[in-house]
């Protein structure tokens, strides 16, 4: 953290209004001002204490004509009653523009990468802003090709859309986000903004190392509100990342890829703040303002003429309960919903995406074309029928099925394995080179499996490969070694 900065660093002060700390309850601080100079809601306060690091507060409510209740963005350990507080008269403002590219920032925009301080002439924008007017927003049906087979086939992403990956603990959300970052380095010409909300230090360090290694850091901004920070920092970190994204969209007219991991931690931090503020909890203990807080974040992720903000968000599903209020509220804002399944992961199918539970508004023949749509529907039907037959197979065996069902099961099992894929970000752990597969190759491979071209192949030949040609080579090698062993 940087040392205290001169007036106008975190927010532009309109008047040097002074107050004093009245009460401290963890991350919530009550401050008393004169009746005539009560700071506005969402404005920033700076605590003038004797610590080397600044303490920034954000006004959340007016308790009476003299007292405000504020949320701290840093630890309040050691804060005493009677300490002087200065009102800035404006919301927290964070640095934006070219100077933040390649940097790792905290919620108030201070560099956390041991690099130099931001230049004095760096532009700043407040973290609170209204979404663009509906009349200025644009919608696009351009498909955002990722090179990940199961996503491009069954849940195509939209350029300028919002996609979310829902999954419980340990099913591969962060790995999938990192692979999407890696996959889009060459294809995506624009700015990437990553918001790490409630992230572990290990995950942040891994991502930073990965980006340095793949030479994308110079076009990326990292914003972190880490797990060990107060709830106020985790609650507002996505707004800091959004503010940086909006600047590049509106002022520089550049496309922005906004990645958030994990949006559930944003909701969780809001629930912590809500309970500290003394509100009565709502369903399942969440804050009563859950819907409006999520909407306030998601509605700012919008595209305007000439520049798009494409959002990819990871969402933790508590106890694998997809009916959780936080999960249902977030999913209602998404164009593309990718569900990660623990059952898929337990069988070794990675990425562990549930092909039947996931959906996309772009999977429409008018958008992706008739051939893509028909192939995707045929794949879904085969996998759905296989899922229906699973119980019968486990009880009686495949031999008890009819000929038509046996054929569907054979092809569905091959489709399941073909839709797995080795990732580039896991090469160091698996020893298998990662694969990025063009959409045409994915469609051709699925059609070949559905048409019966691979019926005589071993299922293992299709597992963890890229294109069908790789699987064909794998099958030929396996057949050759079997022949040699028999001889």
Q: Would residue 474 show up in a list of annotated catalytic residues for this protein?
A: no
Angle between helices 370-396 and 403-418 (to 10 degrees): 110
Interatomic CA distance for residues 440 and 391, integer angstroms: 34
Neighbouring CB atoms inside 10 A of 202's CB total 8
Q: Which residue has the tokens 């099925």?
A: 401
Active-site entry in 200, 283, 387, 473: 200
Active-site entry in 69, 103, 124, 173: 173
Q: Would residue 162 show up in a list of annotated catalytic residues for this protein?
A: no
Q: Which residue has the tokens 């007016």?
A: 62
HEC string of the chain equals: CCCCCCCCCCCCCCCCEEEEEEEEECCEEEEECCHHHCCCCCCEEEECCCCCCCEEEEEEEECCCCEEEEEECCCCCCCCCCCEEEECCCCCEEECCHHHCCCEECCCCCECCCCCCCCCCCCEEECCCCCCCCCCECCCCCEECCCCHHHHHHCCEECCCEEEEEECCCCCHHHHHHHHHHHHHHHCCCEEEEEEECCCHHHHHHHHHHHHHCCCHHHEEEEEECCCCCHHHHHHHHHHHHHHHHHHHHCCCCCEEEEEECHHHHHHHHHHHHHHCCCCCCHHHCCCCHHHHHHHHHCCCCCECCECEEEEEEEECHHHCCCCHHHHHHHCCCCEEEEECHHHHHCCCCCCECCCCCEECCCCHHHHCHHHHHHHHHHHHHHHHHHHHHHHHHHHCHHHCCHHHHHHHHHHHHHHHHCCCCCHHHHHHHCCCCCCCCHHHHHHHHHHHHCCCCCCCCHHHHCCCCCHHHHHHHHHHHHHHHHHHHC
Active-site entry in 199, 203, 229, 475: 199
Q: Would residue 199 show up in a list of annotated catalytic residues for this protein?
A: yes
User: What values do phi and psi take at 81, rounded to 5?
Assistant: -65, 150
Catalytic residue numbers read 173, 199-200
């Amino acid at each position: 953290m940087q040392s205290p900065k001169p007036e106008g660093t975190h927010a532009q002060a309109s008047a040097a209004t002074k107050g004093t700390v009245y009460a401290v309850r963890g991350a919530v601080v009550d401050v008393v001002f004169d009746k005539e100079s009560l700071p506005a809601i969402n404005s920033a306060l700076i605590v003038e204490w004797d610590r080397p690091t600044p303490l920034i507060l954000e006004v959340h409510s007016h308790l009476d004509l003299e007292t405000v209740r504020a949320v701290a963005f840093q630890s309040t350990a050691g804060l005493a009653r009677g300490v002087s507080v200065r009102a800035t008269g404006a919301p927290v403002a964070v640095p934006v523009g070219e100077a933040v590219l390649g940097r790792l920032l905290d919620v108030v925009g201070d560099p956390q990468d041991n690099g130099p301080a931001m230049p004095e002439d760096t532009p700043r924008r407040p973290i609170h802003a209204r979404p663009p007017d509906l009349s200025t927003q644009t919608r696009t049906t351009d498909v955002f090709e990722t090179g990940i087979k199961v996503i491009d086939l069954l849940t195509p992403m939209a350029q300028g859309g919002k996609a979310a990956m829902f999954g419980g603990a340990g099913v591969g959300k962060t790995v999938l986000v990192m692979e999407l970052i890696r996959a889009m380095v060459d294809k995506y010409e624009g700015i990437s903004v990553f918001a790490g909300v409630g992230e572990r230090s290990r995950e942040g360090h891994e991502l930073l190392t990965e980006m340095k290694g793949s030479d994308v850091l110079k076009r990326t901004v990292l914003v972190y509100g880490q797990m060990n920070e107060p709830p106020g920092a985790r609650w507002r970190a996505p707004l800091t990342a959004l503010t940086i994204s909006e600047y590049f969209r509106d002022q520089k007219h550049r496309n922005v890829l906004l990645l958030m991991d994990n949006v559930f931690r944003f909701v969780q931090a809001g629930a912590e703040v809500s309970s500290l503020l003394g509100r009565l909890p709502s369903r399942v203990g969440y804050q009563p303002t859950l819907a409006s807080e999520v909407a306030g974040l998601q509605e700012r992720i919008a595209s305007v003429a000439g520049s798009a903000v494409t959002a990819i968000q990871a969402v933790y599903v508590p106890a694998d309960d997809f009916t959780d209020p936080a999960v249902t509220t977030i999913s209602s804002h998404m164009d593309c919903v990718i569900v990660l399944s623990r059952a898929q992961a337990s069988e070794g199918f990675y990425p562990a995406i549930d092909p039947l539970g996931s959906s996309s508004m772009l999977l429409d023949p008018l958008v992706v074309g008739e051939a893509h749509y028909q192939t995707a529907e045929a794949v879904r039907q085969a996998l759905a029928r296989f899922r229906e037959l699973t119980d019968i197979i486990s009880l009686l065996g495949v031999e008890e099925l009819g000929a038509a069902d046996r054929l569907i099961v054979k092809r569905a099992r091959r489709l399941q394995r073909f839709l797995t894929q080795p990732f580039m970000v896991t090469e160091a752990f698996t020893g298998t080179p990662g694969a990025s597969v063009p959409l045409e190759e994915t469609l051709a491979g699925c059609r070949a499996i559905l048409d019966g071209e691979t019926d005589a192949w071993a299922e293992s030949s299709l597992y963890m490969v890229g294109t069908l040609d790789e699987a064909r080579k794998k099958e030929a090698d396996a057949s050759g070694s079997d022949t040699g062993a028999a001889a």
